[in-house]
Amino acid sequence: MRSLLSMSAALVVALSLSACGTMAGDAAVSAEGFPTRTADGLLVGPNGMTVYTYAKDGKNSGMSECYDECATNWPPLTVATGTVATKEHPLIIRMDGTRQVTLEGQPLYYYAKDAKRGDTTGDGLGKDGAWKINRR
């Protein structure tokens, strides 16, 4: 019985992960969990959704200032344990032990109210426009 439950759980996980495959769109999907740029230069997460930086996070401070309710509204872009950082995308360790992706040391987040790829509804929100997209 235990073996059957383990196999069932493994099947559910495998099917869930297979549903996370590449989707059509103008954004390249990053298999490593790091952001990429769309054709118009917008920085997006591996799921194709816009990522943001937060002005309260100091560049290269090695920490995030966004937790609790903030992290509910602005979920951090995280990667699995064992993921190797890149020069452009160093990683920081959050208080809960998760590994958050940064852009040149600035932690990256999604905005919970962005509904589809290309949405940038969080850009300029917060005190003094603290939340920003990154477009080159």
Cα–Cα distance, 113 to 132 (Å, whole number): 14
Copy the structure tokens of residue 52. Answer: 């943001």
pLDDT in the model for residue 21: 36
The average pLDDT across 111-131 equals 97
Q: Which pLDDT belongs to residue 4?
A: 40
3-state secondary structure (DSSP) of residue 120: coil
φ, ψ dihedrals at 134, nearest 5°: -130, 115
Who wins on pLDDT, 13 or 132? Answer: 132
Give the position of tokens 């300029």.
124
Would you place residue 114 in the very low, low, confident or very high pLDDT band (cuts 50, 70, 90)?
Answer: very high
